[in-house]
Amino acid sequence: MQQNTAVKYKAIVMGGSAGSFSVVSKILSNINPDFKYPIVICMHRLKHIRSGLVEGLRLKSNLPVIEPFDKENIEGGKVYLAPSNYHMFIEIDATISLSTEEVYNHSRPSIDHTFMSAATSFREKMVGIILTGANKDGAMGMREVHVRNGYTIIQDPATCDVQTMPNASLQLFKPNKLLSPQGITDFLNSL
């Protein structure tokens, strides 16, 4: 496990439901301002509300938070938030591609889609983190990250408002770490 943290990552990919906003805010407000990896976040959100979430995260975050356009490059030290009503995929050339394909797991954006594509593109050179949430979206994607030897972190269900999402992942594989929000922040700051 220690070996994993020594390799260079291409991205940190995080997923959670709408209720994970406070956890994501906490992590981004305590992350080192010189954090060098890109952070890609897929959070369930209201379909028809285009603004508010990214502005809210910008207020808290030590890193710039971007709601990316299609085909935008992923760069280190920036946070990329999946736009409302679009799925967000990570391509092999480290660009973002968006899609209006069918709703998946009752969600668009779907966390599974983001994790699956990131796992395919980055394989062992990514960290996948699943946070608190009220449905199973993200569990299959996190399993794919695990299968492709990415580093996996599940928010400790004991620290979650709703445990469905982390528990669904725990039923599919054993993660590298089970951490509280503060533990996740400390881990990221140690990279």
Partner 1 sequence: MAIGPTINDIKEITAALSLKLKLDYTNYAFSFLRRRLALIYCTLKIKKTETFLEDIQTGKVTQDFCYFFPVAEDELFRDPSFWRSLRTKILPALGDNLSFWFPELVSAEELYSLLIILEEEKLTHKAKIFCNIQSCQRIEELKQGKISLKNIEIHKSNFKRLELHSKFEDFFTEDNAYAVIDEGLMQNVAFLNDNYFNCIPNQQIACTLFRNRMLYYNGKMQCQSEKYLHQCLGKGVFMVLGIKEQISKENELLFELFDNSEQIYQVL
Q: Which of 133, 68, 57 is nearest to 112 (CA)?
A: 133
If phi > 0 it is left, if psi is from -120 to 50 it is alpha, else beta; for residue 138 that is: left
Task: Using the minimum distance from each CB to partner 1, give the nearer residue, 2 or 51.
Answer: 51
Name the one range near partner 1 by CB under 8 A: 22-30, 54-62, 85-93, 167-175: 85-93
Cβ 62 to partner 1 shortest distance, Å: 25
29 is catalytic: no
Position 69 contacts partner 1 (CB under 8 A)? yes
Q: Does the footprint of partner 1 cover residue 122 (CB under 8 A)? A: no
User: Which one of the listed residues 107, 110, 112, 137 is annotated catalytic?
Assistant: 137
Tokens of 176: 């590298």
Q: Burial code of 19-37, b = ≥16 C-beta within 10 A, e = fewer?
A: bbbebbbebbebbeeebeb
Residues of this chain that interact with partner 1 (CB under 8 A) are 47-48, 50, 67-71, 83, 85-86, 89, 91-92, 97-103, 117, 120
